[in-house]
Structure 1
Amino acid sequence: MTSAKDDRLVGTSVARREDPRLLSGRGRFVDDIELPGMLHAQFVRSTVAHGTITEIDLTRVRQVPGVVAAFTAADLELGDITAQLGRPLSEFVPTAMPVLARDRVRYVGEPVAVVVARDPYLAEDGLEAARVTYAPLPPITCEEQALAPDAPRVHAEAAGNTLVDVGLFATEGIDEIFDQAPCVVHVDLRTGRQNALPLETRGAVAQWDAREEQLVLHTCTQTPHQVRTVASRCLRLDERAVRVIVPDMGGGFGLKCVVGREEIATAAAALRLGRPVKWIEDRKDALSASFLAREQHYTVRAAFDADGRILGLDADVVCDMGAYSCYPFTAGIEPLMASAEMPGVYKVPAYRVRGRAITTNKAPTAPYRGVSRPSYVMAMERLMERAARELRLDPVEIRRRNVITDFPYTGVNNITYDPGSYLESLDLCERAVREAGWYDRQAAATAEGRHIGIGYSCFSERTGYGSAAFAQRKMEVVPGFDLAEVRMDTSGAVTATTGTISHGQSHETTMAQIVADALGLDIAKVKLHQGDTDRITYGWGTFASRSIAVGGSAVRLAAGKLGDKLRAIAADEWGIPPEETELDRGRVRRRDDPDVALTYEHLADTAYLKSHLLPKDIDPGLTATAVFDVHNDGTFSNATHGVVVELHEGTGQVEILAYFCVEDCGVAVNPQVVEGQCRGGIAQGISGALFEQITYDAQGEPSATSFMDYKVPTAHEIPEVVIHHLETPCAFTATGAKGAGEGGTIGAPAAVLNAVNDALRPTGVELDDTPITPETVHRALTPRTPEQTP
């Protein structure tokens, strides 16, 4: 123990330190940046889903008043953005994504040229004058077309339009297990293509700093160091000559954790013109031409014994990844995650899976909050529901018989799960639903002819992926570790710098709580810096619920090192061993006489201004750095969600009457922040279950290019969420915390779908696809003759 402080900040709901700035309009986002002589960029985008470019004529564009320049790929001569797996080509096919399309376009909205003008409206005028001629090719717009034997190829090198095709697991004898099982259930499930829909669309401001000989790129990315790496390679600059800065960011959700083409093209235009250039994505482009997610198809079956215990799982997963692999995660991110992690919270003794990523003429896919987990959790939970019905078991009871209870647990998928509260969360969630009276209300409603259903989902959230976990995916770029620096100045104030990025997760608060506790310091004395590639050597940013688990651990270790140095300086002054000192409220005090203490200001004066007084083994200054990586299979948060819905016959509407969440993310650094993450994630999960979907017509034209077509819920459709916390501290992080960012989104679709099916039980209809539309529910509730009943 290095701190005598009793009133710990970690574990308390400290008020968010970001709020005064953001709520008073003092936040600074990319679009707030105004620079002298700044120009504005917009992109000429493909109007066809698939075709060769026969001509790009920008002559009239350059004649539009206010247009300064217009560039094609040939004008800028940029390198491609290529993400690769280090697998044999039989398993993975890399696809080079040009910054601007050169010879061929592969989806509606693909950037073909960039127009730069004095203001954004003049840039839009310039777009209207562009003339691009295409020789159309047959578009691939669905899984069936992509995998057809005679299908045209989206990429010549991708046979069968397949970018990834892996069978990660196949237990010997699994066919015999299914042949002999008393109960085998099947699920064929599809999830709709979605947009992550951050409040702030993508954007970038690029300028050349002549004094520093450095390109400065302000952009709203979750991974600034990866943007720096790609920008330097595409622009053929030394990495030192690129600085990426992330100001305040209005949401990301995974969409912004990959490197986009537009920010690279904006930087190239700024270099070419020698003037600052800004690009802000409009909502039409954000909905239709940005990175999308979630379009997946699961064909799964499970074998159970007569008591409802699972004997085997067999799955085929097809993920429609759109036209290109994203950088750095590749097209493998969704099928590989689904294949590796599908067993989840359940004890599955035998497993076989095939995971495929297919390419189609749609906007490419990026990670989106939860990645494949909302889909495969839905598949697993539907299997549990279906088996419970076949075996005449209570749906909660069949889960009790199958959840992991002994930890650490190494599954058939070769993943070791650290301790969690899987059974405890399930029991508590069911108890909360019962004690709120919903089972009695359901029975009464059924007697009145109303349709009320109760559904659950039980799941884990793999968080804090380290290098070891990512390396298992054979990625050429292997994320994982994070760096942190903690520095104290002569006033005793502390600046912490981290490689993570906050885009709504309250890092300025939670990271400061960790540092203040480690140093026994007032939180007001701690300031966090993030989102600047010149401040920290390298960082992997924020995605996959890693910030507190990995970045917070690095910050905690660095703060601990700084505390050790403070104690060593004080101990030298007193002539005692450092072990006989402790940190306490901005001071180092003696353990044998707590009234004797030296303030941090005094020690900082010695470290900086009187370094001749330091012992030879202590360097001047008060700076400490640390790196942290998770070297096991990751840390697993877990939760159970319970949902009560009512289906309305006249409209087919699904009304959510109540929502319960029991979550365990280890040590909750700030419980209020965790609850905010839960509620926000649940809202996105409900939206995916009931509202959001982008479809394409036969020509590859997207259906939703505005909020008139792309349905998202309002506050009216999102219920109040009752949240209960459990706490199983993590043994693998420096704070005991696990990730909390994605759980809400992971669990909600399955719970809502199960509740809807529970309400539909008297009709004999079962739904397995999302989003669940009012039309689908209305048809299910409409009386049919026996011949018409599915």
Structure 2
Amino acid sequence: MAEPPQRSPHLRRDGAWVGASVPRREDPRLLAGRGRFVDDIVLPGMLHAQFVRSTEAHAEILSVDLSEVRAVPGVVAAYSAADLNLRGVTALLDRPPHEFVPTAMPVLAHDRARYVGEPVAIVVARDPYAVEDGVEAAIVEYAPLQPVVSDTAALAEGAPLVHAEAPRNTLVDVSLFATEGIDAIFDEAHTVVEVHTKTGRQNALPLETRGVVADWDDRDEQLRVQTCSQVPHQVRTVLARCVGLDEKQVRVIVPDMGGGFGQKCVVGREEIAAAAAALRLRRPVKWIEDRRDALTAAFLAREQRYAVRAAFSAEGEILALDADVVCDMGAYSCYPFTAGIEPLMASAEMPGVYKIPAYRVRGRAVTTNKAPTAPYRGVSRPQYVMVVERVFEKAARALGLDAVELRRRNVITVFPYKGVNDITYDPGSYLESLDLCEQTLRDEGWFSRRSDENRVIGIGFSCFSERTGYGSGAFAQRRMEVVPGFDISEIRMDLNGTVSVTTGTLSHGQSHETTMAQIVADRLGIPYDRVKIVQGDTDRITYGWGSFASRSITIGGSAVAAASVKLGDQLREIAAHLLEADVDSAELDGAGGVRVGDRSLSFAEIADVAYLKAHLLPKGVGPGLSATASFDVGGDGTFSNATHGVVVELDPGTGGIEILRYVCVEDCGVAIHPQVVEGQARGGIAQGIAGALFEQVTYDDAGQPLAPSFMEYKVPTAAEIPDVRIEHLETPCAFTESGAKGAGEGGTIGAPAAVLNAVNDALRHTGVELDDTPVPREAIFRALEKA
């Protein structure tokens, strides 16, 4: 018999891998510089591509002359839209024309340019220097048109149309909820407060910009595309359609990826054009996005405007919420989510953690002459949480109540709870997280320091939930033509008892190689370093929707767990047969084997029979050790929750904002790897602070981007991001395989509201209230100077 493996010192006291902060499997490779990212890939005969991009925000394209480009030394080819003749990309919603207008996004612009930086032609050369020279030689003749550069301009009467088929420049106009009698509730309410707010346009800013290496394999008759995408199967589908191949002729592989944050969970045009060039040339083609293009021409996010009213009783009970949401989605709908991704998210989930009995909302997506919008970590939730939390702050002042106490009176405390938005919330710790966050700041003495007359200190809170584990049913409610949801996992055990497990989700910093392995290790009773996670390859993964919306552990991890259980059942059945025992008496021994009474067989011994001595297998059991399982969520998903508490100090001399303390009390159910959860929270909080105080993509009246580099686009450094204290609560999910809820976006969701509320608390003596982000420091300076 094989010696049982020794218990790892990193395991929890109960011996489980799940819940233990084990060393990450990825770290030795990545920290030693042995990771393989798209730009690390070098193939024989590889060419380099870059794009001729529009210099006009809105213009007719009269001609594209590439003759001088082709004469540049080192240039191998140059293609316009007419040369490649590719099918465009169109994302669809199953909604009537008055609610949704589909618009095609051409791979290369041909008749009209709709934003500065839109790709017009692709140039392919022998090296990265020659390709830049080739791009400079292109001659594109434009007939400029009046650009539309804001949501208010887009909706104005008589505004120029970005797309002729979209009246009033409106791509989505949906009213999902309108409680009967809501106007009477407002008329009779003791207190009505209003919030009008605008959030700045942002870039998701993954450390690794977008990129692709594409090559044609004559032997396999297959176009191989290595790219940094969160959704490789979606890239395969769209690319095959655009270039006219069967899907089996396209293989998409994702190597190591340096962040995505949602920007890479949609299908980009440049990847398709570069792959089409490789197909035509029958040579490998690499495109790597430079930082200027990443800041100005990649998918952007976040620019939204809210007009919200809320009605309250004299005792502080919220009675009704009425919201108008306008999202500036830029020039095109993204695939597969469409321009509806942000207004539909805000409309469906705005009531959040509060018991709101009446709700009316209108959500609109408008198109403008700016780079298109894709999901970005949180997707509208940082915005609507900020709006709702501002509502509670203003209502508290109007009612003469403490803002935290007002929240206590209104948060959901009885579960399951079906909200006015027809969503059922599973159990969470909304009140408990609020109480603990406030008490932590009190125990640390921040409330007493706020009273120091020589300092301008404010404390702010935000209380919110994060819907995770969206299954097919939840996505179907949005009426997308493409309905994400399920995940499929296949597990195989080899001759020495180690296993390989596929997942349709995809790591781009979330530590899947570790956390998924922990789940498998617990199910099979083997060390987690004997589990290999396979991801990001459309030829090896049956099908997958990728990673977004905090679905990886909730859905992908549940599929992995279910497949592991199936494999465990196979091992038990074979072992019971070999030991001449009933299968019900066989159990996994937690040490890499199966036990029946005082007898046992190791997995390696069982695998030896399954592969090399198949004649000894029980009747009806075929050779090999493998299992496949899928997982989906039929209901509304699960809800993580958190409360963030922030202490800021304002500088009267400069209007500067310093974050003195940041406390996050989070509940994501069972934390597979607590340290990874904390890393996700801290990274998300940093991005939320960035949106609240620093980052914004702006344009001039001609639609020219005003933040083409890090000199203009203000990204916070480690000096501006505070240390974050994280406290964990645990309310396990009842329907995921491990009790885990998603943890990917919560940090980002809560930060803008908490920071903005803290700034306003510090300004309480001035009478000034700020509702927009990023917070304008000149407004703080003026308020403090006047006070």
TM-score (norm 1): 0.98
Letter in 1 for 2:226: H
- Fraction of identical pairs, as percent: 73
Q: Secondary structure at the match of 1:782?
A: helix
Q: Is the 8 A contact 1:213 1:241 kept in 2?
A: yes
The corresponding residue for 1:468 is 473
Cα offset for 1:773?
2.6
| TM alignment of 1:281-680, pairs within 5 A | 281-444=289-452, 447-448=453-454, 450-593=455-598, 596-680=599-683
| TM alignment of 1:97-116, pairs within 5 A | 97-116=105-124
CA distance in 1, matches of 2:622, 2:41: 40
Letter in 1 for 2:652: E
Q: Is the 8 A contact 1:4 1:584 kept in 2?
A: no
Letter in 1 for 2:631: F
Cα offset for 1:630?
1.0
Indicate whether 1:181 and 2:189 are aligned: yes
CA distance in 2, matches of 1:361, 1:274: 36
Q: Deviations over 1:723-773 (max 9, x none)?
A: 000000001211100100000000000000000000000000000000013
Letter in 2 for 1:493: T
Query: Which deviates the most, 312-321 or 773-782?
Result: 773-782
Give the aligned CA root-mean-square deviation in angstroms: 1.1
The corresponding residue for 2:174 is 166
The corresponding residue for 1:699 is 702
The corresponding residue for 2:713 is 710
CA distance in 2, matches of 1:507, 1:780: 47
CA distance in 1, matches of 2:121, 2:597: 72
Q: Is the 8 A contact 1:458 1:747 kept in 2?
A: yes
Cα offset for 1:58?
0.5
CA distance in 1, matches of 2:202, 2:59: 25
Cα offset for 1:779?
1.8
Cα offset for 1:120?
1.0
Letter in 1 for 2:183: D
CA distance in 2, matches of 1:315, 1:616: 64
Cα offset for 1:586?
4.2
Cα offset for 1:611?
1.1
Q: Deviations over 1:304-333 (max 9, x none)?
A: 001111000000000000000000000000
The corresponding residue for 1:265 is 273
CA distance in 1, matches of 2:32, 2:391: 49
Q: Is the 8 A contact 1:587 1:597 kept in 2?
A: no
Indicate whether 1:144 and 2:152 are aligned: yes
Letter in 2 for 1:283: R
Letter in 1 for 2:573: A
Letter in 2 for 1:111: P
Letter in 1 for 2:625: L
Q: Is the 8 A contact 1:484 1:625 kept in 2?
A: yes
Cα offset for 1:22?
0.2
Cα offset for 1:577?
2.0
Structure-2 change in CA distance of 1:4 and 1:397 (3 Å): farther
Q: Is the 8 A contact 2:321 2:358 kept in 1?
A: yes
Q: Deviations over 1:203-246 (max 9, x none)?
A: 00000011000000000000000000000000110000000000
Cα offset for 1:585?
3.7
The corresponding residue for 2:758 is 755
Cα offset for 1:588?
3.4
Indicate whether 1:782 and 2:785 are aligned: yes
Cα offset for 1:187?
0.1
CA distance in 1, matches of 2:360, 2:776: 32
CA distance in 1, matches of 2:76, 2:550: 43
Corresponding residue to 2:767 among 764, 767, 771: 764
Q: Secondary structure at the match of 1:659?
A: strand
CA distance in 2, matches of 1:780, 1:494: 63
Q: Secondary structure at the match of 1:401?
A: helix
Letter in 2 for 1:651: T
Q: Secondary structure at the match of 1:81?
A: coil
Q: Is the 8 A contact 1:521 1:584 kept in 2?
A: no
The corresponding residue for 1:719 is 722
Cα offset for 1:591?
5.0
Cα offset for 1:610?
1.0
Q: Is the 8 A contact 1:522 1:585 kept in 2?
A: no
Q: Is the 8 A contact 2:151 2:366 kept in 1?
A: yes
CA distance in 2, matches of 1:18, 1:685: 26
Indicate whether 1:732 and 2:738 are aligned: no
CA distance in 2, matches of 1:597, 1:684: 52
The corresponding residue for 1:207 is 215
Letter in 2 for 1:527: K
The corresponding residue for 1:88 is 96
Give structure 2 stretches of 5+ with no counterpart. 8-13
CA distance in 1, matches of 2:594, 2:250: 45
Letter in 2 for 1:702: P
Q: Is the 8 A contact 1:582 1:591 kept in 2?
A: yes
Q: Secondary structure at the match of 2:132?
A: helix
CA distance in 1, matches of 2:566, 2:484: 25
Aligned residue pairs total 777
Q: Deviations over 1:508-564 (max 9, x none)?
A: 000000001100001121111100000012100000000000000000000000001
CA distance in 2, matches of 1:146, 1:372: 20
The corresponding residue for 1:788 is none
The corresponding residue for 2:690 is 687
CA distance in 1, matches of 2:246, 2:343: 35
CA distance in 1, matches of 2:573, 2:656: 66
| TM alignment of 1:5-16, pairs within 5 A | 6-16=14-24
CA distance in 1, matches of 2:727, 2:127: 50
CA distance in 1, matches of 2:373, 2:192: 33
CA distance in 2, matches of 1:399, 1:279: 50
Letter in 2 for 1:32: D
Cα offset for 1:180?
0.2
Corresponding residue to 1:745 among 734, 743, 748: 748
Query: Which deviates the most, 606-615 or 469-478?
Result: 606-615
Cα offset for 1:776?
2.2
Q: Deviations over 1:468-513 (max 9, x none)?
A: 0100000000000011111100111111111111000000000000
TM-score (norm 2): 0.98
CA distance in 2, matches of 1:343, 1:143: 24
CA distance in 2, matches of 1:224, 1:211: 22
CA distance in 1, matches of 2:119, 2:737: 44
CA distance in 2, matches of 1:47, 1:349: 50
Letter in 2 for 1:532: D
The corresponding residue for 1:192 is 200
CA distance in 2, matches of 1:121, 1:174: 63
